[in-house]
Structure 1
């Protein structure tokens, strides 16, 4: 299978299965033998839920920074990140054997009977959604052949697929992405704005306003491939003026638009800034 992108020298694969493509954006494998472009990078806001498993690693997540170091104990560090609304610094002491999977909005619900997104948190540590999750991830991590890993990871997630229907909630995401006011969506659903906020967080793992901001950020990246001047970008993405655009952009990335587009390869669907 040909990778869709290469991040930090690591291939990023889109699912081969047509079924999985509906729910999973892609995944990558890291090896402890990798020579990384950089051990430190910035990850920017996205609307994915991300499951990652690292072999013999110690992971510390705090203050918008994730540090991955070696562990003297044979163990799997398993984490699940959902409220990805701010730039996060990622630091590897050195490469680890790792599997990381990006689930599309609502995607994780098609594999789990229930998941509890906690308010005021952005991740779940010691993530073990099924009894066989960590043993099976370890088997895949120990495979030498990349093609075997790709086949195994898809087979695993296909085996966990649940028959769920989100036809009632999917239009809500479309409304949010189209810029419809949150109050109007709540009114359309005949519920209070507060109730809508709770319902949205329960399903997506972040607030509707954060989801909207992050989606608009992704739209800006797509627009920039055609519209290079920032004044045009600001108006194309419904900003009142360019200063408003610059301020919101810097809040989401930590840097101004000019620096971002010079330093970040925006051809990727997930944006990393290596430092």
Structure 2
């Protein structure tokens, strides 16, 4: 099972949701489904390669090849299948944090999935970190590296839009209250986050339902608390994002309300 780690460095709390790492020494190969979220996911893989076929991402060993990927957007589950063990570091950045820590990846973030960014300096740094032995040393090195890269705070207007969308406000409501055109809001948000405000809001509602379910709320209560019209409407959105009905999804998934995986 992949261990998702929350940052211990207080400087990172506003920017990083968490991270995990894998070692080529692992005997058990991960195989899981990952579901839509609003994080920006940055992954470094040493001596490996990635290939996507449809909704399946295959990770294989490739000596001498290292890659750095950035993912901002996927609207349906992705199956992640490791065919070989690899050294990997994956970081989940909070919305808007990419420009603060990895500004050189902003252009790549405008594309749904980039499996090999042309950022040689970052690759060298991640390669150096991945050579550390022992979990404690690796945790320390990852967090030190990330904290030292913080160049500025998350954009104020972007942060305001994120807060309002997480509170389930529509673009129309945000436009009226901030006195900005809907087009301006959509473009500004897409440039900063890599997805549209509408898509972000839909995923935010989905994730909030997962979080609330973790405290044993019923599906009926989840439906209305997350502003779905009725149970059928809730089921429809849930199946679009997960390919599962809510009841089946909650029975099978593992993880926490931040990162949810279905282990295969």
CA 195–101 in structure 1, closer or farther in 2 if over 3 Å, else same: same
- Aligned-pair CA distance for 1:170: 1.4
- Residue in structure 1 matched with residue 9 of structure 2 by the alignment: 17
Q: Which runs of 4+ in 1 moved over 6 A?
A: none
Matched, 1:147 2:136: yes
- Residue in structure 2 matched with residue 220 of structure 1 by the alignment: 209
The correspondence of residues 102-181 of structure 1 with structure 2, limited to 5 A, is: 102-113=92-103, 115-116=106-107, 121-129=111-119, 131-164=120-153, 166-181=155-170
- Residue in structure 1 matched with residue 32 of structure 2 by the alignment: 41
DSSP-derived class of the 1:159 partner: helix
Report Cα offsets for 1:164-222 as digits up to 9, x if no partner: 45223212111111111211212333333222211111011111111111111111012
- Residue in structure 1 matched with residue 72 of structure 2 by the alignment: 82
- Aligned-pair CA distance for 1:85: 3.0
Aligned residue pairs, count = 263
Larger helix percent = 2
DSSP-derived class of the 1:29 partner: strand
- Residue in structure 2 matched with residue 190 of structure 1 by the alignment: 179
User: TM-score, normalised on structure 1?
Assistant: 0.89
User: TM-score, normalised on structure 2?
Assistant: 0.92
- Aligned-pair CA distance for 1:246: 0.6
DSSP-derived class of the 1:86 partner: coil
5+ residue gaps, structure 2: none
Contact 2:70 2:108 in 1 (8 A): no
5+ residue gaps, structure 1: 1-7
Report Cα offsets for 1:82-137 as digits up to 9, x if no partner: 11332111111022111111100111111244512566x412232244x4211121
Considering only aligned residues, what root-mean-square deviation do their CA atoms show, in Å? Answer: 1.9
Q: C-alpha distance in 1, partners of 2:66/2:103?
A: 23
- Aligned-pair CA distance for 1:267: 3.2
Contact 1:55 1:97 in 2 (8 A): yes
CA 167–39 in structure 1, closer or farther in 2 if over 3 Å, else same: closer
